[in-house]
Amino acid sequence: MYRALTGWTFALPFTVLFLLFTAGPVAVSLVMSVTDIRSADLLDPLGVEVVGFDNYVRLFTDPKFVRACVNTAVFVGVGVPLTMALALAFALGLNSGLVRFRTAFRVGYYLPVVTSIVAISVVWRFLLQPESGLVNELLSAVGIQGPNWLNDEAFALPTLIVMAAWRNLGFAMVIFLAGLQAIPRELYEAATIDGARRWAQLRHLTVPMLAPTMLFVAVITTIAYVQYFEEPFVMTQGGPLDSTLSMAHHTYNQFGFGNYGYASAMGYVLFVVVVGLSIAWFRLLRNNVDR
């Protein structure tokens, strides 16, 4: 009895904070998502009208929300494989033993991960300026006229994807590197004796052995990319012509406009998307993980 009471005593502060700042707001937002509550209704919450699933139906007839969903799908569909491919390539290079000063490279690749995304976005915005940005200056030095990266509808979203992949590859690289170092060297020695070349070893040995690691990286990266917000908020404000508007950014804007019920419905749709994609990754890679 005393031990149980001691345990609950230590758990009580976290439990109270969790209920107040996590579970409570989640429950309240679920209720709000089936109402038409706006900022003006906060003084009289009992007068709010319950609209059922009208907010959810309205979402998919809202061209702006549909565009945000498409942008987010492109960001995830291109950004996640790109980030994982780059991270795996860098991890393989560092794990090969042919690269000197590997610790310095690890720190350098990981540094963007621990740097404020807002600060990174501001720096990249200056680097991508059409006239005075370093990127276009380097391109002009070799005779190439650089585009207006952040104000051209054709380049804005791909630019954010590349920047996000650069920023996040350090985290995925460290995880992949840990997975590679856990693979017994004897397996590679046996494969070499059997005549397997590097590509065959990568395809039939490294990738299957890394399946659990790949699953973890895929799920974490997908969750982060579905919720991408800071990049368009700081660099493009969702433009040009909503070409970089994300689901999270659009939800934030609706809260700012005082459409709390509508924004809450958006938040729950985003939650369902995150859960659905996570389940899809688990099913896609489960067979390799269970081997």
At 217-233, the pLDDT tens digits run 988 999 999 988 988 99
Identify the pLDDT of residue 162. 93
Lowest mean pLDDT among 21-30, 49-58, 91-100, 233-242: 91-100
- Between the CA of residue 274 and those of 128, 223, 246, what are the distances in Å? 31, 6, 14
User: What is the number of other CB atoms lying within 10 angstroms of the CB of residue 116?
Assistant: 10
Largest CA distance in the chain: 78
Q: Evaluate if residue 245 carries a pLDDT over 70.
A: yes
> Residues 159-194: pLDDT tens digits?
999 999 999 999 999 999 888 888 888 887 787 887
Identify the pLDDT of residue 46. 67
**Can you list the domains of the chain with their CATH numbers?**
52-290 (1.10.3720.10)
Q: In the chain, what percentage of residues exceed pLDDT 90?
A: 27
Per-residue pLDDT band for 291 (boundaries 50, 70, 90) equals low
Q: Evaluate if residue 39 carries a pLDDT over 80.
A: no
269: which residues sit within 8 A by CB, 6+ positions away? 56, 59, 247
Angle, vertex CA 252, rays to CA 268 and CA 245, nearest 5: 95
Contact in structure between 29 and 255 (CB atoms under 8 Å): no
Identify the pLDDT of residue 98. 64
Identify the pLDDT of residue 12. 86
Q: What are phi and psi of 244, to 5 degrees?
A: -120, 10
